[in-house]
């Protein structure tokens, strides 16, 4: 483990324990909530650190690399003993993080370990909006989790999200289809990330994470697709302009430590999530 990785690991261990509330939209659907289970994905957006994650003594996410997003997993509610090791150091070494975490029923979220605007590792939990979108439409959500200033997101050269700051998100309902998008410094034409083609499928949500560090020149995009939000009839031709979606009215579901009233990155990182790389 080199000095940079050790510094990041120490920062994560200190920075990623926090009291956390996840708001689940009251209108959102999803099998996981209907059957009482939780649905959790994890995005590793801290450059320069690969980890192995153990739960109840079993290795669940080996070689978890920066830029990796796990597939959503339907989880039974319960308490899990979590240990996170620098890559190759477990299970007999000293874990960088060791906690017991309670996973509640009904959660539908993505947990992002990432850099804040100043470049320090931090943790943010985002609600995945699974509410229905109109026929012919798709939901586009942009999440700023990079060590970078405020940005605008452009589609076809025109701003669709403006002045987005870390660690915030904005969502749009837009016509389904392929969109050429890039990320520029807010109020300018200076491209920070991209361009990249986004395939916005009808009845799905596409989440775009802007992650990495502007100072280290490793800014990148990661996409997440959330399906099952279509409404009949399908196959409506795309057309028209997207508009900002209204903020969701939501009920609050707490993701908490059973004993301490806090949650750490290791908990939802490992709670029955098998390591999967998302293209």
Task: Please provide the DSSP assignment of 128-158 as one string.
Answer: -------TTEEEEEEEEEEES--EEEEETTE
- Label residue 32 by pLDDT band (50, 70, 90): very low
pLDDT score for 141:
96
Q: Does residue 187 register a pLDDT over 80?
A: yes
- Label residue 48 by pLDDT band (50, 70, 90): confident
Same domain, 49 and 184: no
Residue 208 has φ and ψ, to the nearest 5°, of -115, 120
pLDDT score for 272:
37
Same domain, 190 and 210: yes
Q: Does residue 197 register a pLDDT over 90?
A: yes
279 domain-assigned: no
Same domain, 122 and 196: no
Same domain, 90 and 142: no
CA distance 64 to 8: 15
Between 31 and 87, the more confident residue is 87
pLDDT score for 33:
52
Nearest residue to 132 via CA among 239, 25, 28: 28
Q: In angstroms, what CA-CA distances link 276 with 43, 150, 216, 223?
A: 11, 31, 26, 14
**Which domain range does residue 230 map to?**
137-247
% of the chain residues with pLDDT over 70: 65
Number of domains in the chain: 2
CA distance 159 to 222: 19
Give me the chain's average pLDDT, please: 73
pLDDT score for 68:
95
Same domain, 36 and 171: no
Peptide bond into 273 cis (omega under 30): no
pLDDT score for 183:
96
pLDDT score for 133:
93
Same domain, 120 and 255: yes
Least confident of 85-99, 201-215, 238-252: 238-252
CA distance 183 to 136: 25
Q: Residue 156 sits in a domain of what CATH number? A: 2.60.40
Contact 151, 167 (CB under 8 A): no
CA distance 182 to 23: 29
pLDDT digits (tens, 9 = 90+) for 108-120: 777 777 889 999 8
Between 79 and 168, the more confident residue is 168
121 domain-assigned: yes
Tokens linked to 217: 């020149």
Q: Which helix (H) or strand (E) holds 14?
A: helix 3-15
- Label residue 232 by pLDDT band (50, 70, 90): low
Same domain, 12 and 107: yes
275 domain-assigned: no
Same domain, 19 and 122: yes
CA distance 170 to 154: 13
209 domain-assigned: yes
Same domain, 24 and 119: yes
132 domain-assigned: no
Nearest residue to 18 via CA among 263, 265, 271: 263
The reported pTM is 0.71
Same domain, 87 and 224: no
């Amino acid at each position: 483990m080199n000095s940079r990785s050790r510094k990041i690991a120490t920062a994560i261990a200190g920075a990623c324990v926090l009291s956390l509330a996840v708001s689940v939209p009251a209108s959102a659907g999803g099998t996981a909530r209907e059957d009482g289970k939780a649905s959790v994905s994890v995005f590793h957006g801290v450059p320069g650190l690969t980890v192995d994650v153990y739960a109840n003594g079993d290795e669940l996410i080996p070689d978890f690399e920066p830029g990796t997003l796990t597939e959503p997993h339907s989880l039974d509610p319960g308490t899990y003993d979590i240990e996170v090791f620098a890559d190759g150091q477990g299970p007999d070494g000293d874990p960088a993080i060791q906690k017991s975490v309670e996973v509640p029923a009904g959660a539908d979220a993505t947990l992002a370990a990432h850099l804040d605007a100043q470049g320090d590792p931090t943790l943010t939990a985002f609600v995945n909006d699974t509410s229905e979108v109109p026929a012919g439409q798709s939901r586009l959500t942009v999440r700023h989790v990079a060590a970078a200033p405020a940005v605008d997101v452009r589609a076809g050269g025109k701003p669709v999200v403006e002045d987005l700051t870390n660690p915030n998100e904005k969502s749009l309902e837009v016509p389904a289809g392929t969109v050429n998008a890039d990320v520029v410094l807010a109020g300018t034409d200076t491209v920070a990330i991209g361009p990249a083609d986004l395939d916005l499928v009808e009845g799905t949500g596409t989440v775009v994470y802007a992650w990495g560090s502007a100072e280290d020149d490793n800014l990148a995009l990661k996409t997440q697709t959330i399906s099952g939000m279509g409404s009949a009839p399908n196959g409506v031709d795309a057309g028209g302009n997207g508009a900002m979606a209204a903020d969701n009215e939501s009920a609050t579901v707490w993701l908490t430590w059973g004993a301490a009233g806090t949650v750490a990155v290791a908990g939802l990182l490992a709670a029955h999530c098998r390591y999967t790389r998302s293209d």
